[in-house]
A and B are shown apart, each in its own frame.
Chain A
Amino acid sequence: MPRRGWIVLVGLAVLIALPALLGSYLVTVFILVFFYGYLGQAWNILAGYGGQLSAGHAAFLGVGAYTATLLAMHAGLSPWLGMFAGAGAAGLLGALIGALAFRFGVRGFYFVLLTVGFAEVCRIVALNTDAVGGALGLYITFTGDPRQLQFRDNRAYYYVALGLMVLATAVTGLVERSRLGTYLRALREDEDAAEALGVDTFRVKLLAIVLSAALTGLGGAFYANYLFSLQPNAVFGIPLSVDIIIRPVVGGAGTIWGPLLGSLILSPLAELSRTYFASGGLAGTHLVVYGFLLIAVVLLLPRGAYPELVRLWGRMTAKGR
């Protein structure tokens, strides 16, 4: 097996063993690192590899979460199965957005705005539909029943989140190595040229958004049963979409490890900030830091932290040149 494969396996083994060594708070931090890493990875497929910047990805998570939760509430369906329904629903939304956007050639900033528009429509609809809880949202009763994707022990959530992250990374890796990945990167660089070379850009982009959306929606059930509450403003809102975007952008969009690195850097920061700054007038502190980081990354490390680290490593290990 190539050396990189060994590194990944060892890393995974470490992550699996970690909860035995860490206290509950750190386990929580890692849950966030994994969950946002997973979300960022799903976004990465569409936006990093495909170059279609979506600023409304929270909509997919929200649709997935609401679908799974409503099915659990009204049909008694276990969230373990409901999460796939959530993924399906989110995938459908992605298909709708993609079909409309790409058929009408909506690109660049217009596409960003379109995704924001759809996410806000979802939010407003959820906010005003009493059948899905309206402004109060949905509250999930805590049963601690593993069959309901609920656990009394934090560490179980840790493993589910880790599983999601591994799944998303595996999917991204498969996409990266596949023809779809090549087509995506081609149209990211120059869509018209790719089209001229015979790439069916519509189909490729549509596939990417459906995959990205479904993968994002899958985690909705986890989100619902970890936080025990679903509120339209939180789960469909722009702040969550920004949270989803910023980690892969800082870490390196369009690379397989970028989103994970970005989450590793930013999620503990956010959690620390929330714990220590949330009280009093420092409520927005971590977001200000986010903003500065985003600016710094865009100006100084436009490709993200991971590619720059790779470059540095390459320079350090190139002997005598």
Chain B
Amino acid sequence: MDLTLVAQGLLNGLLGGGVYSLMAVGLTLIFGVMRVVNVAHGDMMVWGMYLAWLLATRLSVDPYLGFVVCAAALFVLGWLVQRGLVDRVVEAPHETQILLMLGVGLVLENLALMVFGPDPQRVRSPLAQATLWLGPVFVDLARLVTFGLALGLTLALYLFLTRTGLGRAMRATADNAYGALVVGTDVRRVYAAAFGIGAACVGAAGALVSPILPFQPSGGLAASVTSFNIVIIGGMGSFGGAFVGGLLVSVAESLGAIFLAPAMKELVSFSLLIAILLFRPAGLFGRRA
């Protein structure tokens, strides 16, 4: 057992957890506020990745700057999707919402397929070349910056939710939508904002990850499932749970990749998901909906 390898795995896992947390926080915000599961979450992330790619290749904008644009674009997408589509099924049974978001996911994924083709892409960033050495372990500068930015965004979101009026309105709506309505909250606006922010989170996450990992349209499903995994482990609707869950899952995956064959990594993820769904669906911090 090579301790250096384990330490490296831990470090990489921790760094990757920043992005995972960001993805999960976006998903849990949407669920927490309006009890809708964004099945298209991963497909939105893929669009974040491709937008970053477009910015980098057509306009020479580094993804570490371009992620802001990606976040904004996905925010608009999320807002429109919520206002135009999700709003009509907020009161509908879960199956209807799931099928609707499945449709949205299908459209997003396959539009990306039509526009960008099926081959994996990658974004070149000058940061991706640099490596820092901390004793026996090394850190990709790109991963470090990604981690830092993702963490920063998560923190910004936390401050938004706790310090601003709209953020408070969102938390109120998440707690009790009817109550929030009664005290004068524009619930529809809160819903749209929440969905937009959730989409923006995952769009930014996609942009931040684009210099590190190759991506393709079909990657949406894996990203969605990872997000669900994390959110379920952490507890649906719990911000803290999504954050901690993101780090946990990333570290677990990273260590798993060291000790197990790469194919087994996915197997572990899904087995973990099944186990959580059966034995502790409320997750670590979740309130039972």
Contact = CB atoms under 8 A, between A and B. Distances in A.
A283 B273 contact: no
B104 interface: yes
Given A283-B114, A284-B114, A109 B37 contact: yes
A120 B88 contact: no
23 contacts: A104-B279, A106-B277, A109-B98, A114-B277, A117-B271, A117-B273, A120-B266, A124-B263, A124-B267, A128-B263, A284-B111, A284-B217, A287-B109, A288-B106, A288-B114, A291-B103, A291-B106, A291-B108, A291-B110, A293-B103, A298-B100, A299-B85, A299-B100
Given A283-B113, A299-B100, 4 more contacts: A117-B273, A249-B99, A287-B110, A295-B100
A116 B94 contact: no
Given A125-B267, A249-B99, A284-B113, A113 B232 contact: yes
Nearest to B116: A281
A187 to B, nearest CB: 13
B31 to A, nearest CB: 9
A143 interface: no
Contacts of B108: 291
Interface of A: 51, 53, 100-101, 104, 106, 108-110, 112-114, 116-118, 120-121, 124-125, 127-128, 238, 242, 249, 281-285, 287-288, 290-295, 298-299, 302
A299 B109 CA distance: 20
A128 B89 CA distance: 41
Given A113-B273, A116-B225, A299-B85, A124 B111 contact: no
B85 A295 contact: yes
Q: How large is the interface on B (under 10, 10 to 19, 20 to 34, 35 or more residues)?
A: 35 or more
Contacts of B89: 298-299
A299 to B, nearest CB: 6
* Shortest beta-carbon contacts, A-B, top 9: A291-B106, A294-B103, A284-B110, A291-B107, A284-B113, A295-B103, A287-B110, A288-B110, A108-B94
B88 A299 contact: yes
B274 interface: yes
B181 interface: no
Contacts of A113: 228, 232, 273, 277
A51 B95 contact: yes
A288 B106 CA distance: 6
Contacts of B277: 104, 106, 110, 113-114, 117
Interface string B248-289: 000000000000010110110011011001110100000000
B271 A121 contact: yes
Nearest to B95: A53
B98 A106 contact: no
Interface of A is mostly: helix
Contacts of A121: 267, 270-271, 274
B159 interface: no
Contacts of B107: 288, 291-292, 295
Which of B104, B114, B228, B232: most chain A CB closer than 10 A?
B114
A288 B111 CA distance: 6
Contacts of A298: 89, 96, 99-100, 103
Contacts of A125: 267
Contacts of A108: 94-95
Contacts of A114: 273-274, 277-278
A91 B212 CA distance: 43
B179 interface: no
A320 B91 CA distance: 36
A124 B268 CA distance: 10
B118 interface: yes
Nearest to B113: A284
A110 B85 CA distance: 22
Nearest to B37: A109
B235 interface: no
Contacts of B228: 113
B152 interface: no
Interface string B210-232: 00000001000100010010001
Nearest to A120: B270
Interface string B109-130: 1110111011000000000000
B102 interface: yes
A97 B93 CA distance: 23
A125 B274 CA distance: 15
